[in-house]
Amino acid sequence: MQTHAPARRLPGRRPWVALFLATVLPLAAQTQHAWAVNDLLAGSGGSSPARRPDSLFSRDYLHLLADDTQGILTSPLRWERQEWLLAGGLTGLVAGVSVLDGNTKTEAQEERTPELDQFTKQAQRFGSTYSFLVLGGFEAYGYWAKDDKAKAVAMDGVTASIIASGIIAPVLKFTVGRVRPSTATNTFEFRSFSGNDSFPSGHTTQAFAVASVIAAHYDQWWVQGVAYGLAGVVGYSRIEQNAHFTSDVVAGAIIGTVVGRAIVHRHDRAKPGALALAPFFGGHAQGVMLQKEF
């Protein structure tokens, strides 16, 4: 009797779905509809327009941070139909991606190697300690080179980090209580207020908060590619390390991106009393109009 060796299974590809989604999602925010993402948490009403003080290490920055935190955390109270639709769409995306959670976990763990493990252990630190070293580098360069843009990246990045990965993500983790894939008995295992903290991924939230701030200040394609690409690698690393499911990573990418862009949007708004020129289009008329913030 002739026997046949079992067909060799092709290398799994599902783990890369998480990396693809986590990278492409924020890049999509750079399209002509980016203003909707900016306004989602930017606080179009309520608090007064925010301004960047001269230094991170000042009382003015603490006031700014308090204003940003209040504005962003209370922003859903001011949402209109378009913001609710956008929020619903992003929530639906996370729910849709969760269908991949079980298969992605299986494929990622089957393809682990010592070399890949070593790489992801280092790469994931760009969602924790390394991200603050990056922001520190921008602050140092901005100070010594008198580069206001670099200093703005540091200030906006620190603010987004505090709000996104320091407040929003931990609150969601504690409330949702999703069991991590390394200890879960099934894919969808939730124990609210139990200390289980898989959803969302904090490392991914932090990585995308910093990446979105950098990308918002530097519009060169390669800067945005490096920033979001590295953040996507952080997301994949958390899956490969069996610390998170795919939907945890995508949720973290969304939170970090939206908060990061909202912070930049808030801080770029003109100071009260400042004059600015803005384009005007209405019917058959077009031109510029003089605008003043009060």
> Which tens digits make up the pLDDT trace of 49-107?
457 999 999 999 999 999 999 999 999 999 989 889 988 989 999 999 999 999 999 99
Selection from 185, 183, 208 nearest residue 197 by Cα: 183
Contacts of 196 (CB under 8 A, 6+ apart): 177, 178, 179, 180, 190
Q: For the chain, which domains are there?
A: 15-292 (1.20.144)
Q: How many alpha carbons lie under 13 Å from residue 18 in its C-beta half-sphere?
A: 34
The two tokens of residue 30 are 């750079």
pTM equals 0.83
CA distance 258 to 277: 27
CA distance 98 to 100: 5
DSSP code at position 166: I
Percent of the chain with pLDDT over 70: 75
pLDDT bracket for residue 236 (50, 70, 90): very high
The answer to whether the beta carbons of residues 234 and 258 sit under 8 Å apart is: no
Confidence at residue 51, expressed as pLDDT on a 0 to 100 scale: 79
Confidence at residue 25, expressed as pLDDT on a 0 to 100 scale: 52
Confidence at residue 43, expressed as pLDDT on a 0 to 100 scale: 60
Instruction: Please state, rounded to an integer, the average pLDDT across all residues of the chain.
Output: 83
Our measurement of the distance from residue 255's CA atom to the centroid of its chain's CA atoms, rounded to an integer in Å, reads 5
pLDDT bracket for residue 269 (50, 70, 90): confident
Our measurement of the distance from residue 209's CA atom to the centroid of its chain's CA atoms, rounded to an integer in Å, reads 4
The answer to whether the beta carbons of residues 161 and 210 sit under 8 Å apart is: yes
Tell me what the mean pLDDT of segment 201-229 comes to.
95
Residue appearing with tokens 């309520």: 46
